[in-house]
Structure 1
């Protein structure tokens, strides 16, 4: 258990599944803000960190804490994100900035703070969304933030490739979060439009993240892997 991973937004949903998957053979730090971590997300090799990632200085403080505790950092999973309605009739600058800040700027801030510690073989994996290419009604700014994250992923892959650092993303389809399941009628609609014939689970995304973070994906960078079950093929 030599490698160290940082997962943002790791207390619930997809983030929790990623933490539980990676902890099998990584030491894992994860951030949380409003959802206090389950007691099972504790123990040797785990470091919960309560933080508002959008506050000035927090990304730098988190990276410093992780490196001081574990001595290194090999994997960053940018999972923390914000979905908020932004209807065209109501421009709310604060809401728009909050979405762009957490979904797009925080990954850039974390990477900048981590650069002195990343070594060849390190991997960055961000959680994007199918809404980066399928614009969501009344939430286009959210989709735009994820489209920007996809482009950032490609750009950083190009810049960091010569240093042996890979940068990829995973774009989930419709995922049912155990803590906040979708209504049955909406779930049925997603299933009807998904080739696999079921809605996604957080574990489906965690497995994709594990692959992209691992040496098995050593020749993959700059990609956004759609894990949607064939949604809207």
Structure 2
């Protein structure tokens, strides 16, 4: 029986690449908030759900729809994320809370909602960031939210390990998103410090998600895997 994967933030960028990759041999549900998915992301084995996962009760509604449609959930990919500028001179609590709500608390809410349906062999993959250890200028709270996600990943791996449920994270390096390309000069700076001499693609991340979600990674849990092309080695 095909596995069922739930991906948050799956309409564009890295999330879309994950949806397209896993949908080759999984039944896939993905959430979106502001970017409505195009017609290529529809099908009998694909379900798109518009949801703001920072709102109370939304995680439960999403999981209920997954179970109603496919009867199970085997893989959860927490990809939806938010980065905002938070310069130290201008503290606005709502900007900080928005990142913590989506980058850390939404995955926790989704796990709590899905836990009664997760069986031995299930897998969670969290999309973190290299900024968890390399704090970005004027966006330190974003890096802190991802550092917290990394710790949450390891903690949940420890708690869920006895149930046979694995929890891992991926920390992407500089990834060029087609819908939101970086300025060429900024990309060049990242590439200069990357051992492989190129920027990453969403597909680079999707391939690693596939591995961590698969039985091939059956003895891998509690890891934060850098997929950076050797950034700052």
Instruction: Check whether TM > 0.5.
Output: yes
- What does residue 7 of structure 1 align with? 7
- What does residue 145 of structure 2 align with? 145
- What does residue 81 of structure 1 align with? 81
- What does residue 19 of structure 1 align with? 19
Residue 161 of structure 1: CA displacement? 0.3
How many residue pairs match? The answer is 233
- What does residue 41 of structure 1 align with? 41
The DSSP-based 3-state class of the residue aligned with 1:111 is helix
Q: How does 1:165-180 map to 2 (within 5 A)?
A: 165-180=165-180
Residue 61 of structure 1: CA displacement? 0.3
2 CA distance for matches of 1:156 and 1:54? 20
Q: Does 1:118 align with 2:118?
A: yes
Residue 38 of structure 1: CA displacement? 1.7
Q: How does 1:36-115 map to 2 (within 5 A)?
A: 36-115=36-115
Residue 44 of structure 1: CA displacement? 1.4
**What are the ranges of 5 or more consecutive residues in structure 2 without an aligned counterpart?**
none
> What TM-score do you get using the length of structure 2 for normalisation?
0.99
The DSSP-based 3-state class of the residue aligned with 1:232 is coil
1 CA distance for matches of 2:184 and 2:141? 27
Residue 56 of structure 1: CA displacement? 0.7
**What are the ranges of 5 or more consecutive residues in structure 1 without an aligned counterpart?**
none
Residue 39 of structure 1: CA displacement? 0.9
What's the CA shift string for 1:23-64, capped at 9, x where partnerless?
A: 000000000011010210111100000011111100010001
What's the CA shift string for 1:131-180, capped at 9, x where partnerless?
A: 00000000000000000000000000000000000000000000000001
- What does residue 185 of structure 2 align with? 185
